[in-house]
Structure 1
């Protein structure tokens, strides 16, 4: 069978790209001919929109018009040479084909599950609600024509039902993890709590930083970087000083305001004082690490903290569990939350720094508990193999 995987190309190589490449390799291994059809997703234009858009209109809501432009581009693609097509990130599911499988991990999030949050923190663009209405309508029409939607988690399946009123053509697909991680058999120790991932809103590494100030005798590690790394470092400096002075800054301010570069004059004054005092933080920033270094971070972690808001899947948590590490996630963590059995393979806590700190302290003060929960976490991770994942893909293709 000839299969086309339609992939927006964002010029990055992240977790989703790893998943797509693995699916291609596995499908080829069992005899299919597979092409990844890349579409440049970095182009900024309105060339594919079949009605005029002025420069002024475009500049007022660039993200919306780029989405509409790509929507039309995908809808007009000729994919007739393929027996089956698999769409990936939005809005690639706008493609037209009689045998269309949508590998679905998220909507245009700012117009769906993050909409209220971005309005609250002031990140919304002009005419946000109208743009949201249009995108939800055209998405629902396109997704209703898809043969099978493979939702990447129960969280995503619930979102599709909630926002697009679709359930009959929606199944679950849990991606496997890197086989090198899955088969790791090196040494494991229980040292520092860590956070792994990109520093973007609303991943909430800021909550981890604030939690660490409540367990001053423990050193935490932040693995990775992103667009908010500079602000995250400032937040760490500021909170280190604030903790020393017994000053309280609310969680809401830290992760909803400071994380997006919004520091009041009062907070900037505290930051300036903190920079003068050179207080040592109990949080280490590693920056970007290699695959081998990441394995070492996982292997030496006390636990892995996943504080993100409404995550789509939770691959980091499964990776952590495969290293026999308990995972701490928040009750509003989306895909992370559905992986945690509270008190068994990790802790599921309220989304605040105090609750995170309490969970971290429980494990730091009781290494045997961390090890036992790590064993349970390892058993959970065994469910998420590529063998199981590809069984779902293969069964869907031959339907």
Structure 2
């Protein structure tokens, strides 16, 4: 079968790119001819929109109009050379083909489950509510025409029902993890609390930083980098001083304001003072790491903290579970929360630094607890194989 995988090209390689690349390889090993079909998602033009658009209109809400422009690009694509097509990130599901499967991991979240949060923290563009209305309407019309939507988690399945009213053409597919991680058999130890992932809003590594200031005798490890890394390091420096001098900073200020570079005058002044005093931090930043170094960090982790808000799936948690590590996730963590049996393979806590710190302390004070929950986490991870993923996909490849 000739299969086209249609994907926006964001010029980055993250968790979803890993999933798509593995999916392509698995399908090829089954004997299918698979071709990636990319559209440059960084393209800033708006030439595809079939109506006049003034500069004034565009600059009032550029992200909205870029989305509409890309929507039209996908809508007009000729994909008749393929027997089946698999769309991926939005708005690639606007493509038209009689045998269309959508591998659906998330909406354009600022117009959906993050819409209220975006407005709360002041990141919305003008006419945000109208943009939300339009995007949801055109997305729903396109998604309703898709033969099968394979949602990447139950969390996503629920969002499709809530926001788009879709359920009859929706099934759930869980991506497998890298076989090298899945079959890891190296040495394990339980040393440092670790958080892994991109530093973007609202992944909330800031809550982990704040939690570690309440676990002063432990060193926390932050693996990864991103657009918010510099702010995260400033927050770490500020919170280190705040802990030393018993200055209280609310959790919401930390992850809803500071994480987006919004340091009000009071905190700017404190930040300058923290820079001068330069207290030693109990956080180690690794930056981006190789696969080998990622394995080392997982293998030495006391536990892995997944503090993200409304995550789509939870690949990091499953990877960590394969290393027999217990997980700490937040109750509003979306896909992460799906994976946790509280008190069995990890802890599901309130999204506060205090709750995260309390869970970390349980493991640091009782390593046998970390080992026991880590073993349970390992058993959870055994469900997430690529064989299971491809079996589920095959159910829908045969129309």
TM-score by length of 2: 0.99
1:209 aligns with 2:209: yes
Displacement, 1:294?
0.3
Describe how 1:230-309 pairs up with structure 2 within 5 A.
Answer: 230-309=230-309
Q: What is the alpha-carbon distance in structure 2 between the residues aligned to residue 44 and residue 234 of structure 1?
A: 31
1:129 aligns with 2:139: no
Describe how 1:164-203 pairs up with structure 2 within 5 A.
Answer: 164-203=164-203
SS at match of 2:101: strand
Q: Which residue of 1 aligns with 2:395?
A: 395
SS at match of 1:38: strand
SS at match of 1:97: coil
Q: What is the alpha-carbon distance in structure 1 between the residues aligned to residue 188 and residue 7 of structure 2?
A: 37
Q: Which residue of 2 aligns with 1:351?
A: 351
Q: CA RMSD in A?
A: 0.6
For these two proteins, the number of residue pairs brought into alignment is 399
Q: Which residue of 2 aligns with 1:32?
A: 32
Q: What is the alpha-carbon distance in structure 2 between the residues aligned to residue 310 and residue 255 of structure 1?
A: 14
SS at match of 1:85: strand
SS at match of 1:336: helix
Q: What is the alpha-carbon distance in structure 2 between the residues aligned to residue 33 and residue 22 of structure 1?
A: 14
Displacement, 1:46?
1.2
1:225 aligns with 2:225: yes
Displacement, 1:13?
1.5
1:143 aligns with 2:143: yes
Displacement, 1:111?
0.2
Q: What is the alpha-carbon distance in structure 1 between the residues aligned to residue 87 and residue 292 of structure 2?
A: 31
Q: What is the alpha-carbon distance in structure 2 between the residues aligned to residue 133 and residue 218 of structure 1?
A: 47
Displacement, 1:101?
0.2
1:21 aligns with 2:24: no
Q: Which residue of 2 aligns with 1:81?
A: 81
CA deviation string 1:339-384 (max 9, x = no partner): 0000000000011111000000000000000000000000000000
Q: What is the alpha-carbon distance in structure 1 between the residues aligned to residue 272 and residue 74 of structure 2?
A: 50
Q: What is the alpha-carbon distance in structure 2 between the residues aligned to residue 5 and residue 41 of structure 1?
A: 15
Q: Which residue of 2 aligns with 1:341?
A: 341
Displacement, 1:274?
1.2
Q: What is the alpha-carbon distance in structure 1 between the residues aligned to residue 163 and residue 345 of structure 2?
A: 31
User: Which of 12-21 and 186-195 deviates more?
Assistant: 12-21
SS at match of 2:335: coil
Displacement, 1:266?
1.2
CA deviation string 1:115-168 (max 9, x = no partner): 000000000000000011000000000000000000000000000000000000
Displacement, 1:264?
1.3
Q: What is the alpha-carbon distance in structure 2 between the residues aligned to residue 90 and residue 260 of structure 1?
A: 24
Q: What is the alpha-carbon distance in structure 1 between the residues aligned to residue 269 and residue 206 of structure 2?
A: 19
User: What 5-or-longer segments of structure 2 have no aligned partner?
Assistant: none
Q: What is the alpha-carbon distance in structure 1 between the residues aligned to residue 74 and residue 22 of structure 2?
A: 23
Q: What is the alpha-carbon distance in structure 1 between the residues aligned to residue 269 and residue 75 of structure 2?
A: 52
Displacement, 1:241?
0.5
SS at match of 1:199: coil
User: What 5-or-longer segments of structure 1 have no aligned partner?
Assistant: none
Q: What is the alpha-carbon distance in structure 2 between the residues aligned to residue 278 and residue 111 of structure 1?
A: 40
